[in-house]
Amino acid sequence: MRITVSGPPGSGTTTLARRLAERTGYRLISAGEVFRGLARERGMDLASFGALAEADPTFDRMIDERQREIAEATDDIVVEGRLSGRMISNADLRIWLQAPLAIRVRRIFEREAGPDLAAAEAETAGREACEARRYRQYYGIEIDDLSPYDLVLNTDRFGVKTLGTIVEAAIAGLRD
């Protein structure tokens, strides 16, 4: 089974994807981790690296293509990334996570220990706008169109344990 977990920054995609991989024993691949690693390798923060990626589509395309190749060739995998639900053509279950911006910003701020909450909000909004432009330009994708997803879940309302239970029920239903 191929499961994709997508959503905006701070929505909990990595947390849920890790939980699903642990509970199912499936392999996990994360586009966000690859992107963050490339930023670190270049000594850049996410906003700066995002701007570089916006100017040079090679970075996004390299990450997206590698993720697609691995996922489409692997039977039991959880694929986490903003576009994974759209890019993995043979996904069995596509999940989109969402939460209000203020909640997501607080999570990002706590995780990345930015200078202050207002700066984290400005950086997150800028990052999302940058990504939306890149996805539209590179792939013709409108990131706010949630029609490709089987499940759209609010991570502000539900914690990872409850979200995991919901997704596990969906997985069981698909196996029946």
The position carrying tokens 């539209």 is: 136
Supply the pLDDT for residue 5. 98
Using the predicted structure, report yes or no on whether residue 85 has a pLDDT greater than 70.
yes
Using the predicted structure, report yes or no on whether residue 90 has a pLDDT greater than 80.
yes
Q: Angle between the 117-139 and 101-112 helix axes, to the nearest 10 degrees? A: 110
List the chain domain ranges.
2-175
Reported as a single tens digit per residue, the pLDDT across 92-102 is 999 999 999 99
Q: Do 112 and 28 form a contact (C-beta atoms < 8 A)?
A: no
Residue 105 CA to residue 128 CA, distance in Å, equals 12
- Pick one of 3.40.1210.10, 3.40.50.300, 3.20.20.70, 3.40.190.10 as the CATH number of 2-175: 3.40.50.300
Residue 143 CA to residue 128 CA, distance in Å, equals 10
Between 15-19, 82-86, 112-116, 165-169, the lowest mean confidence (pLDDT) is in 112-116
pLDDT over 70 for what percent of the chain?
Answer: 98
Name the pLDDT band for 2 (thresholds 50, 70, 90).
Answer: very high
pLDDT over 90 for what percent of the chain?
Answer: 55
Supply the pLDDT for residue 42. 86
DSSP 8-class letter at 12: S
